Amino acid sequence: MKQSKWYAFLSGAVLLTGIAVYGLWIGYQDIVNPPERTLSVSEDERPVPEGDVYVALGDSLTRGVGSTSGAGYVQPVSAALEEEGVRTQNLAVSGARTEDLLTQLEQPEVRRTIENARYITLTIGGNDLFNRGENVDNFESVDIQQVVTDAKTNLETIFTEIRSLNDSATIVYIGLYNPFQNDENGQAFNQLILDWNASAKQLANAQNIDVIDPFAYISDLSRDLATDQFHPSDRTYEKFANDVLFVLE
């Protein structure tokens, strides 16, 4: 009786060892020769979420940098539109220049998001012209006219590309202001920015895009700018939001 139990125990141990070895071998094969896997839903077949969408594009102003709460102008606009069942997607990237936004517009997922948008806002161009203030400090040595010309060309392409992706959305571009008015070469930038905003209006009109000109919003730098003396203050962001909502309504 004891001998039969011993054989039964030995047979079970051998069987379990064999199963374990087989499992290890299957796992090894999965690592060395991984099986081909396909997604159950391809990128093109992925369902689009239902409902209207508000898409925000551009740079740090659309990200809300400088706002004490981080709300910027997008969150107040988003809150108002949410009451109408509109979802928000903020695709802005701090520090983005016009060429960066053009690159972003090549991404399939971004293009698909824009195609399905009901409202679109964007801020872009400030990082091109100011270059973190270096173009202001080195005004005499920088070919600022070439910088402006290149940025305007990119801006026209941006407007054209966005409108080609969506021919029915309400699109709003927020122009530039001058945060360096008190710098040595700050006043020289006033005319550059006024010209930029005027050109932006012409380019935007050709694509049925609305333009908000915030140049006059910055008159008292300590009041109208954030503590970094570059981005808008809460007060100025609130003006942006009110202007955007006025256009959208």
Domains held by the chain: number: 2
Is residue 199 situated within a structural domain?
A: yes
Task: Give the strand order in the sheet containing 170-174.
Answer: 87-90, 53-58, 119-123, 170-174, 210-212
150, 197: one domain:
yes
32, 65: one domain:
no
- Among 132, 130, 122, 101, smallest CA distance to 193 is for 130
Amino acid symbol at 132: R
Burial status of residue 17 (CB atoms within 10 A of its CB: 0-12, 13-18, 19 or more): exposed
Domain membership of residue 143 as a residue range: 53-248
The reported pLDDT for the residue numbered 30 is 35
Is residue 228 situated within a structural domain?
A: yes
Query: Which two three-digit tokens encode residue 45?
Result: 């077949």
The reported pLDDT for the residue numbered 187 is 81
29, 124: one domain:
no
The reported pLDDT for the residue numbered 144 is 78
d(CA 116, CA 10): 67
63, 167: one domain:
yes
Is residue 44 situated within a structural domain?
A: no
Tens-level pLDDT at each residue, the chain (249 residues): 545 544 555 555 555 455 444 443 433 333 333 333 333 333 444 444 456 999 999 999 999 999 999 999 999 999 999 999 999 999 999 999 999 999 999 999 999 999 999 999 999 999 998 876 554 555 554 677 888 999 999 999 999 999 999 999 999 999 999 998 888 877 888 888 999 999 999 999 999 999 999 999 999 999 999 999 999 999 999 999 999 999 998
The owner of tokens 């039964």 is 8
d(CA 158, CA 122): 10
Contact between 178 and 194 under an 8 Å Cβ cutoff? The reply is no
123, 216: one domain:
yes
The reported pLDDT for the residue numbered 134 is 56
The reported pLDDT for the residue numbered 152 is 96
Is residue 166 situated within a structural domain?
A: yes
Is residue 214 situated within a structural domain?
A: yes
Is residue 46 situated within a structural domain?
A: no
The H-or-E segment that residue 173 falls in is strand 170-174
Query: Which two three-digit tokens encode residue 18?
Result: 């064999």
Contact between 180 and 137 under an 8 Å Cβ cutoff? The reply is no
The H-or-E segment that residue 121 falls in is strand 119-123
16, 122: one domain:
no
123, 32: one domain:
no
Alpha carbon 108 to chain centroid, angstroms: 14
29, 60: one domain:
no
Q: Which pTM does this prediction carry? A: 0.78
CB atoms within 10 A of CB 100: 17
The CB-side HSE value for 16 (13 A sphere, CA atoms) comes to 6
Query: How far apart, in Å, are the Cα atoms of 148 and each of 39, 93, 103, 110, 192?
Result: 45, 21, 19, 26, 8
**Where residue 113 sits, what CATH number does that domain have?**
3.40.50.1110
224, 176: one domain:
yes
195, 126: one domain:
yes
147, 179: one domain:
yes
Query: Which two three-digit tokens encode residue 239?
Result: 């003006």
20, 125: one domain:
no
Query: How far apart, in Å, are the Cα atoms of 49 and each of 87, 92, 112, 234?
Result: 10, 20, 11, 32
